[in-house]
Amino acid sequence: MHEEKIFQDKLDREIKIEPQDWMPDAYRKTLIRQISQHAHSEIVGMLPEGNWITRAPSLKRKAALLAKVQDEAGHGLYLYAATETLGVTRESTIEDLNSGKAKYSSIFNYPTLTWADIGAIGWLVDGAAIMNQVMLCRTSYGPYARAMVRICKEESFHQRQGFEILLTLSRGTVAQKEMCQDAINRWWWPSLMMFGPKDDDSPHSKQSMDWKIKRKSNDELRQQFVDICAEQVKVLGMKIPDAELKWNEKKQHYDFGQIDWEEFWNVVKGNGPCNRDRLEARKKAHEDGDWVRKAAMAHAKKSKHKKQQTKVG
Ligand code: FAQ
């Protein structure tokens, strides 16, 4: 009881909860779930873009894409490290992904068919990710909040890189303009789904808001994202594929059309266009890396042994 009071008091006074602090089991479990899903999303998120590294249209584009994909790997690693502070091993967390038990963001189960998709991912997917992650910089768990600050800085660079790809295409030939619009058409609705189910259908939101893990609801963030994109798309001279998108003077927000929630849950349950491929690719990468992990462990053991011998000598 005393511990619960200290925990609640810290939340009330906006003091971060740290790994060594007492916390309710359910708070710990929620964080492990959310942070590990987030880590998996970063790692699986490398796959759709990695697909275009060898086919980027110029050396400059290739270098930028390589750096971006490497950043995502770094984000995954900070987040796996943050998950470990809650008392679970990285091995078991990765095993949960590879066995299909753990979730990762629905968005990465869609294919990248053209170069314009790399621009659309940067603008829309990174844009949605930032919208969600800026509020997570103020999340109540210290290691997660601190990881988010650095991740957000990098994500905002990614977002601009994507927008600039689309801007270039939008000023190009007729075929390039069509490619740009087609990518926006395919990535728009899945990007809106990244924010999760509607607030009324979101089982975790209420408790996560009370614990200050989440600071804004799924619908609030989705609305902010729509409002920003509806303006930015004008700079591109492109269209958002939603006939119902319209400024609502009274609400001071854009109204927008219905999200296909059946498609969302279908993808979350593993039946999206690329779910199977993504998991296979991750499993193969893990198996191919087995010798590296073993070699690193053997090297660490040898070095430790050598050090001990020098001390004895
Ligand atoms: N996909 O009750 P809620 C990125 C699940 S990072 C799949 O609303 P919550 C960087 C949810 O897990 C993108 N599943 O849950 C990048 C739960 O299932 P469970 C990832 C989803 O946690 C860019 C159930 O539905 N970002 O993109 C999705 O309160 C470019 C009920 O949902 C994060 O992970 C979904 N979209 O709110 C990388 C941010 N939405 O666990 C490469 C951190 C919901 O009960 C290239 N996460 N579900 O079985 C969060 O902020 C939250 O977890 C939400 C969901 C907002 C995603």
pLDDT digits (tens, 9 = 90+) for 32-68: 999 999 999 999 999 999 999 999 999 999 999 999 9
Cβ 282 under 6 angstroms from ligand 1: no
Q: Tell which phi-psi region holds residue 100, choosing left (phi > 0), alpha (psi between -120 and 50) or beta.
A: left
What pLDDT, on the 0 to 100 scale, is given for residue 311?
80
What pLDDT, on the 0 to 100 scale, is given for residue 269?
95
What pLDDT, on the 0 to 100 scale, is given for residue 310?
84
Predicted TM-score (pTM) of the model is 0.95
pLDDT interval class at 312 (50, 70, 90) = confident
For a mutational test of ligand 1's pocket, the pick from 30, 34, 40, 217, i.e. the residue with the most ligand atoms closer than 8 A to its C-beta, is: 34
- What are the tens digits of pLDDT across the range 204-246? 999 999 999 999 999 999 999 999 999 999 999 999 999 999 9
Write the residue with the smallest CA distance to atom 39 of ligand 1: 38
What pLDDT, on the 0 to 100 scale, is given for residue 309?
87
CB-side neighbour CA atoms (13 Å) of 92? 8
For a mutational test of ligand 1's pocket, the pick from 35, 40, 41, 140, i.e. the residue with the most ligand atoms closer than 8 A to its C-beta, is: 41
H helix or E strand, kind and range, residue 230: helix 218-236
Write the residue with the smallest CA distance to atom 46 of ligand 1: 45
Work out the number of other CB atoms within 10 angstroms of the CB of residue 237.
12
Beta strands in the chain (DSSP E): 246-248, 253-255
Question: How far is the centre of ligand 1, averaged over its atoms, from the C-alpha of 312 (Å)?
Answer: 52
Cβ 93 under 6 angstroms from ligand 1: no
pLDDT interval class at 313 (50, 70, 90) = low
Q: What is the mean pLDDT of residues 271-293?
A: 96
Write the residue with the smallest CA distance to atom 52 of ligand 1: 34
What pLDDT, on the 0 to 100 scale, is given for residue 304?
93
Biggest distance spanned by C-alpha atoms of the chain: 81
